[in-house]
A and B are shown apart, each in its own frame.
Chain A
Amino acid sequence: MTPGGPGSVARPAGMPRLPRPRESTLIAAALGLGYAAVAAWLALGRGLLIGDALSRVANAYYMGFSRDPHLAAVGFVWNPLPSALELPLLPLAAIWPDLTHMGFAANVVSVVTMALAVRELLELGRELGLGRGLRVAVAALFALHPMTIYYAANGMSEGPFILFLLMAARRLIGWTATGSIRSLALAGMALGLAYLCRYEALAAGLGAIGLVSVVAAWRASGTLVERLESAAADAIVLSAPFLMCVGGWALASWLIVGNPFETFSSAYGNTAQVGLAAGEIASATGRGALEQLAYAFRQLLGIQPGIVVIGCLVAAVGLVRRDIRWLMPAAMLGGVLAFSWYALLTGKSFGWLRFEIAAVPLAATWAALALAGLRLPGSPGAAGGSGQRDDSWALDVHGPSTGTRRLGWRSRLASAGAIAAPSIAALMVITSLGYALPVAATTMQDPVLSREESVYLSVVQADADPLTVRTVREQFGWSWAVAAWLDRLHLPAGAVLADGATAFPLILRSANPRQFVITSDRDFRLALAAPSTFGVQYILVPPDCQALDAIRHRYATLWADGAGFATLAAEFPTVDGALGCAGKPWRLYRVKGPAAGS
Chain B
Amino acid sequence: MTRLRESPRMPTPRTGPPAGPGDLQRLVRIASLAFILSAVASVAVSRAWPEAQSALLLVLILSALGVIIAQDLVPARARTRYLPLVEGLLGVGATTVVVALTGGSGSPFAVAYLLAACAAALTQPAWLAAIVAAASVAGLGLGAWFAGGAPGLPGRPGLVTGFVDGEEALRLAIGAVLILVLAAAASIASRGMRASSVAAETSRRSRAGYARDRGPSAGMRRRPGIPWPGRDGDRSRGPEHGWGLGRGGNRPARGRGATGADALLPGGLWAPGMPLPETPTLAISVSADSIASAETTFERRQLVILALVGSGLGAAVALWPMAVMGVLAGSLTAMYVAVFIYRTANFWSGFERPNPDAIDDATARATPDADLPVYTILVPAYKEAEVIGNLLASIDRLEYPRDKLDVLLLLEADDDSTHEAARRMIDGPHVRVITIQPGGPKTKPNACNIGLTVARGRYVTIFDAEDRPEPLQLRRAVVAFERAPDNVACVQARLLYHNASQNLLTRWFAIEYSMWFRHLLPGLVHAEVPVPLGGTSNHFRRDVLEAVGAWDPWNVTEDADLGVRLHRLGYRTRMLDSTTLEEANSDVVNWIKQRSRWYKGYMQTWLVHMRNPGRLLREMGPGGFASFSLFVGGTPFISLVNPILWTATLFWFIVHPPFIQQLFSGPVYYLGLVAFLGGNFSFLYATILSARATDTPRLVFAAVLVPVYWAIMSVAATKALIQLIAAPSFWEKTLHGLDLAPNTAAPNTAAPGTLAPSAAAGAPTAGPAGSQSQPSVASPGSAGPGDEAS
Contact = CB atoms under 8 A, between A and B. Distances in A.
Nearest to B355: A14
Contacts of B701: 229, 232-233, 236
Contact of A14 (B353, B697, B700): B353
A232 B700 CA distance: 9
B210 interface: no
Nearest to B699: A233
A16 B352 CA distance: 9
Contacts of A185: 685, 689
Contacts of A230: 697
Interface in A160-191: 181-182, 185
Contacts of B689: 181, 185, 237
Given A181-B693, A185-B689, A244-B681, A236 B353 contact: no
Contacts of A181: 689, 692-693
A241 B753 CA distance: 26
A319 interface: no
A297 to B, nearest CB: 40
Interface in B678-724: 681, 684-685, 688-689, 691-693, 697-701, 704
A188 B692 CA distance: 14
A457 B680 CA distance: 46
Nearest to A230: B697
Given A181-B692, A240-B684, A233 B353 contact: no
Contacts of B704: 236
Interface string B331-355: 0000000000000000000011111
Give the most central of B356, B358, B688: most A CB within 10 Å: B688
A106 B16 CA distance: 64
B413 interface: no
Contacts of A182: 351-352
B502 to A, nearest CB: 17
A534 to B, nearest CB: 22
Contacts of B670: 71
A16 to B, nearest CB: 7
A123 interface: no
A488 interface: no
B15 to A, nearest CB: 42
Contacts of B753: 14
Contact of B688 (A16, A17, A236, A248): A236
B653 to A, nearest CB: 7
Given A71-B670, A71-B673, A255-B653, A236 B355 contact: no
A127 interface: no
Interface string B578-595: 000000000000000000
Interface string A237-257: 100110010001000000100
Given A17-B353, A71-B673, A248-B677, A240 B697 contact: no
B467 to A, nearest CB: 25
A234 interface: yes
A200 B653 CA distance: 30
B354 A233 contact: no
B454 to A, nearest CB: 40
Interface string A57-74: 000000000000001000
A17 B352 contact: yes
Given A181-B692, A185-B689, A233-B700, A16 B351 contact: no
Give the most central of A185, A232, A233, A236: most B CB within 10 Å: A233
Contacts of B691: 233
A401 B692 CA distance: 28
Classify chain A: how many residues form its interface, as a range. 20 to 34
Interface residues of B, number: 26
A16 B353 contact: yes
Given A16-B356, A17-B353, A248-B677, A233 B692 contact: yes
A94 to B, nearest CB: 21
Given A71-B670, A233-B692, A240 B354 contact: no
Interface in A204-233: 220, 226, 229-230, 232-233
A241 B353 contact: no
Interface string B644-679: 000000000100000000000000001001000100
A230 B699 CA distance: 10
Give the most central of B677, B681, B697, B698: most A CB within 10 Å: B697
A232 B702 CA distance: 12
A240 B698 CA distance: 16
B692 A237 contact: yes
Contacts of B354: 14
Contact of B700 (A237, A241, A244): A237
A237 B353 contact: no
Interface in A430-451: none
A220 B697 CA distance: 10
A278 B698 CA distance: 49
Contacts of B700: 232-233, 236-237
Nearest to B666: A70
B697 A234 contact: yes
A213 to B, nearest CB: 12
A232 B703 CA distance: 13
Contacts of B697: 220, 226, 229-230, 232-234
Interface string A467-489: 00000000000000000000000
Contacts of A14: 353-355, 358, 753
A239 to B, nearest CB: 10
B41 to A, nearest CB: 35
A185 B693 CA distance: 11
Nearest to A71: B670
Give the most central of A71, A220, A240, A241: most B CB within 10 Å: A240
B543 to A, nearest CB: 31
A255 B699 CA distance: 33
Give the most central of A14, A16, A17, A255: most B CB within 10 Å: A14
Contacts of A236: 688, 692, 700-701, 704
B355 A233 contact: no
A133 B229 CA distance: 70
Nearest to B697: A233
A241 B352 CA distance: 18
B660 to A, nearest CB: 14
Nearest to B673: A71
Contact of B698 (A17, A71, A233): A233
A240 B692 contact: no
Contacts of A17: 352-353
A237 B355 contact: no
B692 A234 contact: yes
A255 B677 CA distance: 14
Give the most central of A226, A229, A237, A248: most B CB within 10 Å: A237
Contacts of B681: 241, 244, 248
Interface string A1-26: 00000000000001011000000000
Contact of A240 (B353, B673, B688): B688
B635 to A, nearest CB: 23
Interface string B745-768: 000000001000000000000000
B488 to A, nearest CB: 19
Contacts of A232: 697, 700-701
Interface of B: 351-356, 358, 653, 670, 673, 677, 681, 684-685, 688-689, 691-693, 697-701, 704, 753
Interface of A: 14, 16-17, 71, 181-182, 185, 220, 226, 229-230, 232-234, 236-237, 240-241, 244, 248, 255
19 contacts: A14-B353, A16-B353, A17-B353, A71-B670, A181-B689, A182-B351, A185-B685, A185-B689, A220-B697, A229-B698, A232-B700, A233-B692, A236-B688, A236-B704, A240-B688, A241-B681, A241-B685, A244-B685, A255-B653
Given A182-B351, A248-B677, 10 more contacts: A14-B753, A17-B353, A185-B689, A230-B697, A232-B700, A233-B697, A237-B692, A237-B700, A240-B688, A241-B681
Across the A-B interface, the 6 shortest Cβ-Cβ residue pairs: A233-B697, A233-B700, A230-B697, A229-B698, A181-B692, A237-B692
